[in-house]
Amino acid sequence: MTRIKICGITNCDDARLADELGADAIGVIGVPESPRYVSPKRAEEIRAVLRPFTKLVVVARTVADAIVYSPDVIQYYEKGPEFNCGAKLICVVRIGTESDLSLIAAICPGPSGLLLDSLTKNELGGSGKSFDWSLAKKANRLTDLPIILAGGLTPENVQQAVELVLPYAVDVSTGVEEHVGKKSPRLLEKFIAGVRAADVAIAQ
């Protein structure tokens, strides 16, 4: 079954709803420049409303930047100091063209998974822009690490994306928002239903 991460959560109500609808992980942003940034204190409040097996993922530039949050999982963009932080690590690989797949061979040491996102100028992530999913399908064959697909996913296209790429998980933020930092209950429900419909189709 494809796992689901709802990212860019900024408040407890959205976190609770996403969890109840079936999200496996809730993502909060620990990059101060982001419009979806949450403080460690707010992240802890969000963690408190999650069910026991739902993971809190902190998105940060480096692993070191996320340590203060004491997260279950750290999603990072840049290699930082190597140390045992006690959390699972997901390394982000930003894909623009096929040549970017070469980054997978030289990936930061120690991650438990790879998140593939769109390569956009002046933005780490959360742009709402997609990339060529056929490249994600190729990436899935280049590594044994679980692939998490992100970048421009929406309730309308997620079923197609999952059926094509067969990722371990999908990650959405902008595609289920009413406005920056606020999720839409209707879009959350449709997105999760789209993933589950893909799972059924793949199993047949």
Question: What is the distance between the terminal CA atoms of the chain, rounded to a whole angstrom?
Answer: 13
Catalytic residues: 7, 117
Closest to 90 (Cα-Cα) out of 118, 131, 62 = 62
Q: Are 88 and 134 in contact (CB under 8 A)?
A: no
> What is the count of structural domains for the chain?
1
pLDDT in tens, the chain (204 residues): 999 999 999 999 999 999 999 999 999 999 999 999 999 999 999 999 999 999 999 999 999 999 999 999 999 988 766 667 789 999 999 888 888 788 787 776 678 999 999 876 665 655 567 888 888 888 888 888 999 999 999 999 999 999 999 999 999 999 999 999 999 999 999 999 999 999 999 999
Q: Which domain holds residue 89?
A: 3-203
Instruction: Dump pLDDT digits (tens) for 37-62.
Output: 999 999 999 999 999 999 999 999 99
The pTM for the full model equals: 0.92
Q: CATH number of the domain that 136 lies in?
A: 3.20.20.70
